[in-house]
Amino acid sequence: MSETVLEARGLGKDFWEGQSVLTVLSTIDLAVECGDRVAIVGASGSGKSTLLHLLGGLDQPTRGTVTIQGRALSRLRERERALLRNRTLGFVYQFHHLLPEFTLLENVAMPLLLRRGVSLTAVRQEARGLLGEVGLADRASHRPAELSGGERQRAAVARALITRPALLLADEPTGNLDPHTGEGVYELLLALNARHGTALVVVTHETRLAERMERRFRLDETTLSPL
Ligand SMILES: Nc1ncnc2c1ncn2[C@@H]1O[C@H](COP(=O)(O)OP(=O)(O)O)[C@@H](O)[C@H]1O
Ligand SMILES: [Mg+2]
């Protein structure tokens, strides 16, 4: 039995540039079920990041709705929206966005530390477990600058998963990596999908990687079409 994690209906975004309007997304419909693996490909500037930001509630649509686990984002106050995001979604970007002054363990633990009523010991244990899962168990006390690009991106994946999100939104997560290292990050995402049932929506330029996802879409001319 499948359960819908996220649903976008008639989702659109316009940007105003002076007097003229730029329609980046016209009307996008997309439903993501638990455990789904979705790839979105599209040329640079086609609106992929804009779409992921809307899906993740990081930006407001011009039209249409995003519903996450049955709750329409537009009906929530900013604080409730942030809570729903923290509980349901994980984000991975092209750039890792790890905080340079903190160790990997602290970086990975951060999203859980933002929750109330969690014990520090439990959080550290959870973060250690996840670092192990992404193959960085022996790097817990290192800082991001001491890691390779691939390791940093694996740490970013661990940080995104510490809240056990139902859905991971990834925006060109391998865009800054060489093909071999990128492949490793993909293997990791797929393994986590298989192990924990985390649904994946991954934006990528790399067709070879997109082919590993069971559902593929192309974003072009403001609309999303199945590939
Ligand atoms: N905040 C913004 N204000 C104005 N235009 C924007 C803004 N964000 C994105 N755009 C424009 O929307 C289009 C899509 O951008 P983006 O979603 O980043 O594309 P992609 O991720 O596919 O490369 C681009 O033409 C970009 O210039
Ligand atoms: Mg982008």
- Is 145 domain-assigned? yes
- Is 69 domain-assigned? no
The yes-or-no verdict on residue 1 having pLDDT over 70 is: no
Atom of ligand 1 nearest to the CA of 51: 17
The CATH number assigned to the domain holding 99 equals 3.40.50.300
- Is 12 domain-assigned? no
Which residue's alpha carbon is at the smallest distance from atom 6 of ligand 1? 15
Residues 6+ apart with CB under 8 A from 80: none
The yes-or-no verdict on residue 116 having pLDDT over 80 is: no
Distance from the alpha carbon of residue 104 to the mean position of ligand 1, in angstroms:
31
Q: How confident is the model at residue 156 (pLDDT cuts 50, 70, 90)?
A: very high
Return d(Cα 191, Cα 160) in angstroms, integer. Answer: 15
The yes-or-no verdict on residue 57 having pLDDT over 80 is: yes
Mean pLDDT of the chain: 93
Cross-strand partners of 30: 8
Distance from the alpha carbon of residue 7 to the mean position of ligand 2, in angstroms:
21
pTM of the model: 0.93
Dihedral sign, Cα of residue 105, residue 118, residue 165, residue 35: positive
Distance from the alpha carbon of residue 147 to the mean position of ligand 1, in angstroms:
31
Domain count, the chain: 1
Return d(Cα 88, Cα 199) in angstroms, integer. Answer: 11
**What was the pLDDT predicted at 2?**
66
CA angle 22, 25, 27 (to 5 degrees): 130
Which residue's alpha carbon is at the smallest distance from atom 26 of ligand 1? 45
φ, ψ of residue 98 to 5 degrees: the values are -75, 150
Q: How confident is the model at residue 179 (pLDDT cuts 50, 70, 90)?
A: confident
Q: Which ligand is nearest to the CA of 15?
A: 1
Burial track 181-206 (b if 16+ CB lie within 10 A, e otherwise) = bbbbbbebbbebbeeeebbbbbbbeb
Distance from the alpha carbon of residue 157 to the mean position of ligand 2, in angstroms:
18
- Is 11 domain-assigned? no
Question: 88 CB less than 6 Å from ligand 1?
Answer: no
- Is 17 domain-assigned? no
- Is 84 domain-assigned? no
Return d(Cα 100, Cα 50) in angstroms, integer. Answer: 26
- Is 2 domain-assigned? no
- Is 45 domain-assigned? yes
| Average pLDDT value for residue range 50-56 | 97
| Average pLDDT value for residue range 20-28 | 97
The yes-or-no verdict on residue 127 having pLDDT over 80 is: yes
**pLDDT, tens digit (0-9, with 9 covering 90-100), for 87-108:** 899 999 988 899 999 999 999 9
| Domain boundaries, position 210 | 36-59+89-226
The yes-or-no verdict on residue 178 having pLDDT over 90 is: no
Q: Which residues surround ligand 2, an ion (CB under 5 A)?
A: 48-49
